[in-house]
Amino acid sequence: MSEHTTPTDGQPIVQMRGIVKRFGTTTVLDGIDLDVAQGEVVTLIGPSGAGKSTLLRCVNGLERITDGTIEVAGERLSYTEKSLNHLRARIGMVFQSFNLFPHMTVMENVAVAQREVLGRGKDQARSRGAELLERVGLGHKADAYPDNLSGGQQQRVAIARALAMDPAVMLFDEPTSALDPELVGEVLDVMRALADDGMTMMVVTHEMRFARRAADRVVLLADGGIAEQGPPEQVLDSPTSERGQAFLQQLAEH
């Protein structure tokens, strides 16, 4: 993993203060404070229902926070169409499901948003698409259709599509959970390479090996808050909180 640097002004690229999210009478997130520095890889772990995916979706404006503030690259999130569109142009998001357009080739999937959102010309979008498909090991599949790809290949195309927007930060929501076990490694390898290249990443994952190898910081969410955070070796090997110890013990038993 490369040495990551913070911006010269010292500002985190993602800054969350007092994040509360309620669904009806259920409080999922209860006062979350979390910063992510430029070039930092932060993995979010924790028990099911802890709010990991909800927190990620709040960063991207897909879920509207009940209280608190979120800033990305120095701009505060509001929920106007203009603000959300500007925010999402700065953030790449990779979901559990691949969400590729089945009627478009791999290249078209990677190029279409570049043209429509960034205003790139057809040749420029295809050139950038070819570069990124090579980066994820799928340059030879540019003319294939999603249905002809494995799940792991489809998820790598989804990563290339997100990278094509030149995001300031990449969000990954359990990107390997829908994959057969033998396909998980190829996606994690691409993500580890991104981490090595200094991409700012927030990753919700149950893959502790990825968290251990690629993360700068592991954040354990539980009971609506941050139970523990720190370097992977501290949180995964020597958790200090009772909630952290219980979660790691539960993992060890499975």
Query: Could you give the 3-state DSSP secondary structure of residue 33?
Result: strand
pLDDT for the residue numbered 131: 96
Task: Take residue 4 and report the two structure tokens written for it.
Answer: 């990551």
Task: Take residue 151 and report the two structure tokens written for it.
Answer: 């799940």
The contacts of residue 7 (CB under 8 Å, 6+ apart) are 13, 37, 38
Neighbours of 175 (CB within 10 A): 27
What region does 173 belong to: left with phi over 0, alpha with psi -120 to 50, or beta? beta
Q: Are 211 and 218 in contact (CB under 8 A)?
A: yes
The CATH homologous superfamily to which domain 14-98+169-252 belongs is: P-loop containing nucleotide triphosphate hydrolases (3.40.50.300)
Q: Which residue has the tokens 């909630």?
A: 243
Q: Which residue has the tokens 């913070």?
A: 6
Query: With bands split at pLDDT 50, 70 and 90, how would you rate the model's confidence at 96?
Result: confident
Q: Over the chain, what is the mean pLDDT?
A: 90
Query: How much of the chain exceeds pLDDT 90, in percent?
Result: 72
What is the chain's length? 254
DSSP β-bridge partners for residue 35: 15
Answer with the residue of higher pLDDT: 99 or 67. 67
Query: With bands split at pLDDT 50, 70 and 90, how would you rate the model's confidence at 64?
Result: very high
The contacts of residue 234 (CB under 8 Å, 6+ apart) are 240
Residue 198 reports pLDDT greater than 80: yes
Element (H, E) at 219: strand 217-222
Instruction: Provide the total of helices (H) and of strands (E) in the chain, helices listed first.
Output: 9, 10
Domain range list for the chain = 14-98+169-252
pLDDT for the residue numbered 67: 96
Query: With bands split at pLDDT 50, 70 and 90, how would you rate the model's confidence at 87?
Result: confident
* Distance (Å, whole) CA 31 – CA 13: 19
pLDDT tens per residue across span 212-246: 989 999 999 999 999 999 999 999 999 898 888 88
Report which DSSP code applies to 148: G
pLDDT for the residue numbered 121: 94
